[in-house]
Amino acid sequence: MKYVVIVVILLGKKNNIIMKVKYVRVSTIGQNTDRQKENRKDFDAVYEDKESGAISMAKRTNGSKLLEDITAGKITELWIHSLDRLGRDTIDVMKSLRLCEENKVTVVVENLGIRSMDKDGKPNSVFNLISGIVTTLADNERKNIAERCGEGRRIARRKGVRFGRRAGVTEKKSDWLKKPKVVSLLNTIKRKPYLTIRELSSLHKCSFQLVMKAKAEVV
């Protein structure tokens, strides 16, 4: 199985100084980012991740690089298609926005048409209000979906529905190791051993049990 290596796309700035950038994110390797990169020529660099928004920005492949460049003073404007591209966790998104504010980086949210600072460099109070509301709503919806899915499974179990392999059926370890999801999960664990079980489960859309089994296999 081939894996996509995501890199920062530099578009011609000298001395590694980048000013106006865009951050692009989708949740899985199979998803396409072209829609978010339609205006890529307008930027000095594009940072792209194909990782779950449940994973903190600091732990993403290029999200962490973006934060480093912001702190290093290399960036003046950060553009995103929507706030949920920064993440699905309210606290983590607000931390990223606060870092931008502290380093005088203007954040532009395309689908809302708002900027965190005006052209004179003054903070936009409306941006802070809207970003807080939108981010909180997105985080609550994510949690509600997880709760509804969990409740649905519990109701199904009470009705006698069984999940997973049929009783009495075993799976060869060699066959298990060849499964695409397992291969992808093992690869991520080897590359990013610092990710938690919850983060790995969210990233690969799998159960905690599968993650723990894969972690045991890597060890």
Do β-strands 45-50 and 9-10 pair in parallel, antiparallel, or remain unpaired?
Answer: antiparallel
- Do 101 and 209 lie in one domain? The reply is no
Measured distance CA(147)–CA(64) in Å, rounded: 30
Q: By C-alpha distance, which of 48, 37, 53, 56 is closest to 8?
A: 48
- Do 130 and 174 lie in one domain? The reply is no
Mean pLDDT for each consecutive 10-residue tract of the chain (219 residues)?
50 65 88 86 92 87 94 95 88 91 94 87 84 72 66 74 59 80 87 85 83 84
Q: By C-alpha distance, which of 143, 176, 163, 170 is closest to 53?
A: 143
- Do 54 and 119 lie in one domain? The reply is yes
pLDDT for 140 equals 65
The answer to whether position 28 is within a domain reads yes
pLDDT for 8 equals 57
CATH number at residue 40: 3.40.50.1390
pLDDT for 96 equals 93
Q: Which domain holds residue 205?
A: 168-219
- Do 27 and 125 lie in one domain? The reply is yes
Q: What is the DSSP letter of 48?
A: E
pTM for this model (two decimals): 0.64
Q: How many domains, in total, are found in the chain?
A: 2
